[in-house]
Amino acid sequence: MALPPKVLMVAEKPSIALSIATVLSHGKMYTRKGSTEVHEFEGKFLRGPARFKVTSVIGHVFSVDFPGKYQDWAATDPLDLFQAQVIKNESNPKAHICRHLNQEARGCRYLVLWLDCDREGENICFEVIESTGFNINDVYRARFSSVTEKDVLNALDNLVRPNRDEAMAVDARQEIDLKVGVAFTRFQTSFFQGKYGNLDARVISYGPCQTPTLGFCVQRYLQINTFKPEKFWSVHPYIIQSGYEILLEWQRSKLFDINVATMFQKLVAEDGILEVTDISEKQETKGRPVGLNTVNLLKVASSALGFGPQMAMQLAERLYTQGFISYPRTESTAYPPSFDFRGALSAQRNNPTWGNYVEGLLTSGYQKPRLGTDAGDHPPITPMRSASEDMLGNDAWKLYQYICQYFIGTVSPDCKYVRKKVEFSVGGESFHCTGQHVITKGFTAIMPWLAINDKSLPSFTKGQKIKVSKVELYEGSTTPPDFLTESELISLMEKNGIGTDASIPVHINNICERNYVQVQAGRKLVPTTLGITLVRGYQSIDPDLCLPDIRSFIEQQITLIAKGQVDHHRVVQHVIEQFKQKFCYFVKKIEAMDALFEAQFSTLVDSGRIMSKCGKCLRYMKYISAQPPRLYCSTCEEVYDLPQKGTIKLYKELTCPLDNFELLICSVAGPEGKSFPLCPYCYSNPPFEGIESLINTAKTSTSGKTGKGAGMPCNLCPHPTCPNSLVSQGVCACPECSGTLVLDPISAPKWRLCCNMCNCLVFLAQGAHRISTTKERCPECDSSIIEVDFNKKTTPLADGATLHRGCILCDVLLHSLVEMKHGRGFKRMSSRGRGRGRGGRKGGRGGKMMDPKMSFRDF
């Protein structure tokens, strides 16, 4: 008898995989660990028995990048990047998702993809197919908007095929953004950071979406700056009716000529008697809202809840993965005809906050939401399960509460009110007053922030004569617009086709992180000097670079790719060629932008403070602390990069034996901080062949980023005799990575070893007078022997002795005093064992150390 086929199911996140597996297995499944958890159970697939394996990725499996030969900023002309090949690397190599998917796919007959149902999710579908090697005919796509039991089962019963066109649209956008963004960013950064010292930005970045987003903020700033206030005047007559003093509104509203306004004031005052010329009453309706889409959620989160777009999306995604709301990325404001409104309302009927109101709707009858826009993606954002503040936490609860009240509002009656207007005539001028009275609160009962306020008027009769109690001439002044709020910026981005519902938060977050704008009170976006100067520079060279038109055109073309109406390669080639020409013109005319920078920022010569001697001219160099930190030699006109984090100081006036530059010490503060010496010249220009791969490993391990601003400190240097090099100060292999634990030279009295690749710290004998490395090696594990000079008062040695030599892995006394810290957890090294020493690499102790004796991981 044939065994039932195996079906591999892949979700976008571990939490979604767990929810799907729980529903399909009815909670009866076996879970085992892998790169991400795998849930196994038996069930039915395509009308027959099957064995299921449900696992997940963690977002994109691959990311686009340039090949290694284009990674060196100094050796690559940014212009070459427009024609460079683009490759896909594993997004998170340490997670081993590719290997995990490949292993789990073995022996499986079918693949079912449960990725998020948007273009990015479709792109990840094909990344999973590539990783697993399935034939496309054996691959199915589940389309769902929430992880409720009903939606999951419905998706399994209505499987479709993955959409390659939508996936290719994402590939096109990624390639365009990479090539254009990196080319402009590298050129700008190198040009301006090589000339100015107080830019206070690690990179001067450009992005086809990011820069037009900044352009909106700067445009508003320029409107404010160039605004000229104008005085105006308005006639304000007052009457007293039924004991109430009422200010009447002038039909002309305001005038900008004081003489004319004064003339009208005199006419009204001289007449002194108002006549009621008309009384009208009209019933008006304030319509209930359409469904809630992502953009509107982000706008309200910023303006009313105080959450930035990035945080709002993080909270919404968490609510979605926990099953409390439907998929939060949608452009649609219209519900499908088959949507189960009664079921969604019934889920809220026992909620302690709005349960009574929902019960009333279910009893008396709810309304269908107003017709909105169907973008063909997901239904509007809808609550799927009832929750309380205790379950969600304060911030998530605020967002969830708004989503629930909004949804309940969409199925509530309209708000109805009567508007009353009384018109008056005096001195040949017309005035009026208005009042209103709510008849039916409707949806405003559950959304009180949209409520109509009652405003009562005393009774009047047509033709009635009323004496004017006083007439004032009000003087006012026009005011400039305020800085853009996040909510207003999101509206502008949506209107001009900049970004998508998924990427808008990322673009706004980028211009904040790049120090182009600052978020101030009321979530207002105020451009910095750097942001203003950049946009003014683009405007002076090529305004298209910061206007939304080009990006809007690109987004339209990408949408056509997603619909299968245009060829992916032709769109990419056309857009890249367009930007290549603009880049060449930009480089040619950069002096126009440079003139603006020169007026706003200090040159390197005028920046910074005296720090250390240059090894070439033996004159003092200046330390520029503004991001990115660097040293500048005005005599040689050379710039030397420094670590991006940490405090920089001169290190005992010691010099590098290779180039005679004075050494610096970089100290990173905090409980997980560390210190290491470096030579400015070696850091910027690593002198040893093959060291670049080691530097890249260290960069990625510690910061998760590669690129400019990382180099070779002394703890990576393989110099055989320098007393500060890895050879001299390295002790043993790191237990957490392929790096080496190096003695922190200024950590006394809290002596410690720091890994030169990751954040692992190993604390040694605390309070010791001195700890130093020696040239001796441990015969058992090949680690360096260290010498400890204990404090006389706390020495653990017999007879008050203070000096002791040994290996921290093999010496019983030293090993008992060692404590390891990695990340957030401490663990005492409690047992001895064979381990790996400092290295098997020629001339140094970095890189992978293959000697099996030298493992520290058993402790």
What is the token pair recorded at 227? Answer: 């605004």
Element (H, E) at 563: none
Backbone angles phi, psi at 195, to 5 degrees: -120, -30
Q: What is the layout of strands, in order, in the sheet containing 752-755?
A: 730-733, 740-743, 752-755, 761-763, 819-822, 825-828
Q: E-strand spans in 80-138?
A: 87-90, 110-114
Helix (H, G, I), strand (E, B) or coil at 538: helix
Alpha-carbon gap, residue 248 to 422, rounded angstroms:
10
CA torsion through residues 682, 688, 689, 693, sign = negative
Burial letters for 689-720: b for 16+ Cβ neighbours within 10 Å, e otherwise? Answer: eebeebbebbbbbbeeeebbbbbbbbbbbbbe
Q: Cβ(849)–Cβ(839) under 8 Å?
A: yes
What is the token pair recorded at 584? Answer: 């060449």
Q: DSSP H helical segments within 601-690, as ranges?
A: 680-684
Question: Is beta strand 62-65 parallel, antiparallel or unpaired with respect to 48-56?
Answer: unpaired
327 is catalytic: yes
Q: What is the layout of strands, in order, in the sheet containing 249-250?
A: 244-247, 231-241, 465-477, 273-286, 415-426, 429-440, 249-250
Alpha-carbon gap, residue 785 to 803, rounded angstroms:
13
Catalytic one among 221, 327, 406, 417? 327
Burial letters for 62-96: b for 16+ Cβ neighbours within 10 Å, e otherwise? Answer: bebbbeeebeebeebebeebbebebeeebbbeebe
Q: C-alpha angle 760/765/770, rounded to 5°? A: 105
Distances (CA, A) of 300 to 93, 315, 485, 556, 677: 37, 14, 11, 27, 49
What is the token pair recorded at 519? Answer: 């978020």
Alpha-carbon gap, residue 33 to 28, rounded angstroms:
17
Q: DSSP H helical segments within 411-528, as ranges?
A: 486-495, 504-513
Please state the three-class secondary structure of 291-355 as a single string.
Answer: CCCHHHHHHHHHHHHCCCHHHHHHHHHHHHHCCCECCCCCCCCCCCCCCCHHHHHHCCCCCCCCH
Alpha-carbon gap, residue 676 to 754, rounded angstroms:
9
Please identify every residue annotated as catalytic.
Answer: 327
